[in-house]
Amino acid sequence: MLVDFSDVKDDEFGPMPEGTYTVTVESAEVKETKSRNGEYIKVTFSVFNSNRKLFGMFNIKNDNQQAVDIGKAQLKQLMQCSGKELATLDTVDQLLGLKCQAVVAIEKGGAYKDKNVIKYYKPIDLGTMVIDEPAMPDSDSIPF
């Protein structure tokens, strides 16, 4: 026997529960559509305080103008919620490191597995976000 899979749990990495997650753009790339007649920006988000990832897809060139309009509106929303106001996007590198909140739902897969989809983006609510900050020294330990 080369490998025993009896101790591996099935679907251990299913979709995350629906909710709002703080995310950071980890990577972004321009990809060609399957039909080869358009392009989209594929974005990978890392989820704050988690080892999970979420993915976004923004149509930027397509025969279907409505798909482009939706993709551009979603991309603009991501940028605005992250505090980046630009009239144009010159390179996908401008997206790297953007932080915001993503409202996530579960899309039923039918023949495929269920998956997470980002419904929309919101600015980070600092009142609900927990940030790991270094502890400040107490006043007794400061030498002056």
Of the candidates 69, 139, 62, 56, the residue with the CA atom closest to the CA atom of residue 100: 56
Residue 128 bridge partners (DSSP): none
Q: How many Cα atoms occupy the beta-carbon half-sphere of 21 within 13 Å?
A: 24
Q: List average pLDDT for each run of 10 residues in the chain, which is 144 residues long.
A: 79 84 97 94 96 96 96 96 90 96 93 93 77 44 49
Domains of the chain and any CATH numbers: 19-126 (2.40.50)
User: Left, alpha or beta for 27 (phi > 0: left; psi -120 to 50: alpha)?
Assistant: beta
pLDDT given at position 23 = 97
C-beta separation of 22 from 124 below 8 A:
yes
